[in-house]
Structure 1
Amino acid sequence: MRRTRKTALAIAVGAFCALAQAEPASQERIPLTLKSTSDQAEASGFIEGQSLSGTTRNWYARERAARGPLWKYRKSDGSRHDSHSRDNWLQGSILNYSSGFTQGTVGFAAEVAAYNAIALERGRAAIAGPNNRTLTHSDGEALDQWSKAGLANIKARISNTTLTAGRQAIDTPMLAAIGNRALPSSFQGFSLHSAEFDNLSFDLGSFDRVSPRTEQSLSKFRSEYGAAGAETDRASTAGVSYQPFRSLSTSLFAAKVDDFWNQYYFGANHVLGDSATLSLSTGLNYYKTVDEGRKKLGEIDNDTFSLSVALTHQAHTLSAAWQQVNGNEYFDYLHETNGIYLANSLMSDFNGPNEKSLQLSYVLNMAPYGVPGLKFNLYNARGWGIDGTHYRGTAYDVRGMDGETHYEWGIGTSYAVQSGALKDTSVRATYTAHRASKAQADGSLNEFRVVTTIPFNIL
């Protein structure tokens, strides 16, 4: 892997040398000043500012095990059988009503969203449930359709600061709604977002339940990789986002997941140059995780980071990302969240104990060639050095991992309609292959996925 590291370093050094001759992005420092406008001062009223909109998504995924069977299904007689395949096909629809804010010093608003999913593929052997793709009964029989209130909250706003209470979607490095299925997840609790400054904002939130992507009821939080029976009653987060320069944005967050862990995050993104000639984007993501309270997941001491660089010249973007886990357990995050802002979180998260990984990717944007909205991408990622032999806890099944390796490659295309009645409709198709050594947990499989999302507005 020394050659791989040298290659990544050479890419970065070469990029900086090339950019020395390029037109740099603005390095102007942004002064820390209060906003001259107030969102609440511009409130139009509860009814006057209301909207009714939504999306409908056709979600199809076909998976095939490349080696031994990876899934099981239950026949109507109760017998269980191994399966080398899994097919899930659903239509997920969201109808979202948002009121405007009432006028005055303190404004109030409400938001409600109805979620509905229809199972287009219902065969027990095909869907191989239960899983987090198609909602099934405990015996694996699919529900033909199901509905729930995905969002239901009230908001109070003063100036540019908004308090939201109820079921909601948020986006932070530790707690973030995940939308890679027919329907997204959401969280029950409260959050506060304050953006009183032009380039500085604060976020605060505390949640006691999650509404999973493929469930009708609320659930307690559990971890993505830890013991299945371990649950927590509350997850809280606080953070600040700051843009000191036009070209640099940073964020610092902390999260407390009761009796699981305390987690700390730092992220920075920098853009140098002009993509019309040549630009370099650099991204750093760092997480520190330590055990907390009753230590339901045992002792945790984990440092994980990713560093990515991306060169863009007009239609072409070439990227390299290095990711490293320093800890004898998985880098873990909460299930039904997207709380993993790491560059190599792909089909696999490349987050095994002590794992190192490198990803190379290429994106072609067809807009400069006269087809705006059309993109192609491909990538290859490799992980190695997975070692859980020094783990002494019981919450993570890693002690059988000794020098495990895996790799993943994918190719995809997406198109977003630019105008007309179907404007902003998107279609994305991807093919991904993952190959793993014997004890690496993700297995060897291929997946073909097609997702079509159509937005609509009623009010």
Structure 2
Amino acid sequence: MTYRKGPKVESKRSFIFLIVLSGISLSSQAQTTEQEWKFTLKNAYIERDFDSPVVKDIGSWSQSASLFYTSKMKDTPLSIAGSPITIGANASTQYAVRLSSDKHVADTILPFDPVNQSQAADYLKYGATLKLGYQNTLLSLGELWLDLPLTTVDGSRQLLTSYWGGNLRSQLSDQLQLELGHITKLSPRNEEDFRKFSYTTKGVTHYSDGLNYLDLRYQISPHLKTEYYFGHLENLYNKHYLGVEHTWKADSFSLNSKLKYFNAQEDNNQLNIDAQNIGLLESVKINNHSIGIGYQQIIGESAYPLPDGFLPEPYFINWNTTGFFKQDEKSYHFIYNYDFKDYIPGLNTTLKYVYGNNFKAADGHENKENEANFIGSYAFQQPYLKGLALQYLLIDYNVKQGTDFTENRFFVNYSKKF
């Protein structure tokens, strides 16, 4: 069962930590053979400068320390057909402190008090999960870490998004995996507590009593896999997703093809949601070089909906800082990655460019936008620095009618498992 903290205790910012972008293991196995503790530190400096004198720049510098626990599954006295029912638990604690001065503006990273117009000095998230297993099936109740359309773990800022509810994962065969879930609340990356799902349109916020979903993944062959997802966000809208991915490999060469289709329709006559997203991405890897070309198109009577809470949709072909999911928008995607493993092991660089058009600005005029990204990351290879990594992200966004901005993100990450 998941619980949340009570009144916040004011912290002393006496130390500046190094930290790590933490990942959460999303295993579908019911029988965890070993328990694991994972300790992470993340130092995050993020700033966004708008090219407008009337729009306030946003950002902050913060430090987090987090601890994640995954237990081994243990047999209980109960069994079915001779196979024992197993039990286990997970737990998490995430804490971050602001190191920069208060900019008195919401930056989507730290909690923000709109009444006092102040950024939180620190914030704390914690939760726990009860696990029950039987053969290749695992039932989890409490805090959940999900990697699905609509609900993903967002590590792009400081503390991680998590969800509250229950889900069941089962490996039905070597090829087929099933997941069912009922998610009642979420804890966004910039908030402490769990709250209901919501969707805001035209200044009005609509709330949901929960998300019910089904996810099927089928490995047709070693090179071809498919996924189907259905999510019913109660009182809001329904979402379908179908994805097909094919990989062809040869010596020093591979070709990866992804075809994705999303369909969102309203489940509430107060809303006007009717959007489809079709995307294709072709990626070629030759030795240390990777090149990708993609296309994405939004079809329907509305922009593609995203729930409140800054929930990203990395399942999209063209998921960027600015999304590229406006009504009728067409976007073209280019990405180039180089792995320096033969020269500087641990160093990777990525260049990404997306151009979007065929959508309208708020005043009805034709609009277009583009976003360029540079990502550089380095994971230290020395044994005494194992787990330490650096990452830098530069974002340059331009729009014909709107506000341009430049954003810098710099992370120092540390991770230790024991």
**Band the TM-score falls in, shorter-chain normalisation:** 0.7 to 0.9
CA distance in 1, matches of 2:105, 2:383: 39
The structural deviation recorded for 1:188 is: 0.7
CA distance in 1, matches of 2:291, 2:71: 43
Is 1:116 paired with 2:95?
yes
CA distance in 2, matches of 1:275, 1:287: 34
Match of 1:171, SS state, is: coil
Change (3 A) 1:200 1:95: same
Write the mapping of 1:290-301 to structure 2, written as runs, cut at 5 A. 290-292=265-267, 294-296=268-270, 298-301=271-274
Change (3 A) 1:221 1:117: same
Does the CA-based 8 Å contact 2:313-2:319 persist in structure 1?
A: no
Name the structure 2 match of 1:66. Answer: 51
CA distance in 2, matches of 1:246, 1:260: 38
CA distance in 2, matches of 1:102, 1:299: 49
- Structure 2: state its 5+ residue gaps: 1-27, 77-83
Name the structure 1 match of 2:290. Answer: 317
More strand by share: 2
Write the mapping of 1:192-231 to structure 2, written as runs, cut at 5 A. 192-223=168-199, 227-231=203-207
The one of 99, 103, 106 aligned to 2:75: 103
Match of 2:118, SS state, is: coil
Name the structure 1 match of 2:280. Answer: 307
Is 1:454 paired with 2:417?
no
Does the CA-based 8 Å contact 1:96-1:112 persist in structure 2?
A: yes
Does the CA-based 8 Å contact 2:211-2:233 persist in structure 1?
A: yes
Write out per-residue CA displacement over residues 18-40 of structure 1, whole angstroms, 9 at most, x where no aligned residue.
Answer: xxxxxxxxxxxxxxxxxxxx965
Q: How many residue pairs get matched?
A: 382
Question: Structure 2: which amino acid aligns with 1:363?
Answer: N
Write the mapping of 1:322-337 to structure 2, written as runs, cut at 5 A. 322-336=295-309, 337=311
Match of 2:198, SS state, is: coil
The structural deviation recorded for 1:286 is: 0.9
Change (3 A) 1:340 1:257: farther
CA distance in 2, matches of 1:282, 1:352: 24
CA distance in 2, matches of 1:156, 1:226: 43
Name the structure 2 match of 1:377. Answer: 350
The structural deviation recorded for 1:433 is: 0.5
CA distance in 2, matches of 1:426, 1:322: 32
Q: What CA RMSD, in Å, does the superposition of the two structures yield over aligned residues? A: 2.1
Write out per-residue CA displacement over residues 21-69 of structure 1, whole angstroms, 9 at most, x where no aligned residue.
Answer: xxxxxxxxxxxxxxxxx965x666xxxx433222111111121112343
Is 1:289 paired with 2:289?
no
Change (3 A) 1:316 1:340: closer
Change (3 A) 1:68 1:371: same
The one of 48, 51, 55 aligned to 2:40: 55
Question: Structure 2: which amino acid aligns with 1:280?
Answer: L
Is 1:280 paired with 2:243?
no
Does the CA-based 8 Å contact 2:58-2:107 persist in structure 1?
A: no
Between 210-219 and 253-262, the greater mean CA deviation after superposition: 210-219
Name the structure 2 match of 1:252. Answer: 228
Does the CA-based 8 Å contact 1:224-1:332 persist in structure 2?
A: no
Change (3 A) 1:39 1:409: closer
CA distance in 1, matches of 2:37, 2:374: 36
CA distance in 2, matches of 1:116, 1:43: 27
Name the structure 2 match of 1:347. Answer: 321
- Structure 1: state its 5+ residue gaps: 1-37, 71-82, 388-397
Change (3 A) 1:208 1:39: closer
CA distance in 1, matches of 2:151, 2:94: 20
Is 1:262 paired with 2:238?
yes
Does the CA-based 8 Å contact 2:32-2:71 persist in structure 1?
A: no
Does the CA-based 8 Å contact 2:277-2:297 persist in structure 1?
A: yes
The structural deviation recorded for 1:449 is: 0.8
Does the CA-based 8 Å contact 2:58-2:106 persist in structure 1?
A: no
The structural deviation recorded for 1:227 is: 4.4
Match of 2:74, SS state, is: coil
Name the structure 2 match of 1:133. Answer: 109
Q: How many percent of aligned residue pairs carry the same amino acid?
A: 21
Between 343-352 and 411-420, the greater mean CA deviation after superposition: 411-420
Write the mapping of 1:141-156 to structure 2, written as runs, cut at 5 A. 141-149=118-126, 151-156=127-132
Write out per-residue CA displacement over residues 217-275 of structure 1, whole angstroms, 9 at most, x where no aligned residue.
Answer: 21111237674522212111101001111111210010000111111000111112326
Is 1:88 paired with 2:60?
yes
More helix by share: 1
Write out per-residue CA displacement over residues 178-202 of structure 1, whole angstroms, 9 at most, x where no aligned residue.
Answer: 2211111101100111114222101
Question: Structure 2: which amino acid aligns with 1:86?
Answer: I
Question: Structure 2: which amino acid aligns with 1:418?
Answer: Q
Name the structure 1 match of 2:139. Answer: 163
Does the CA-based 8 Å contact 1:323-1:343 persist in structure 2?
A: yes
Please, what TM-score do these two structures have when normalized by structure 1?
0.79
Change (3 A) 1:39 1:115: closer
Is 1:435 paired with 2:407?
no
Change (3 A) 1:305 1:39: closer
Write out per-residue CA displacement over residues 365-408 of structure 1, whole angstroms, 9 at most, x where no aligned residue.
Answer: 111x2322211111211100004xxxxxxxxxx75343211111
Is 1:444 paired with 2:404?
yes
Name the structure 1 match of 2:5. Answer: none
Please, what TM-score do these two structures have when normalized by structure 2?
0.86
Question: Structure 1: which amino acid aligns with 2:308?
Answer: H
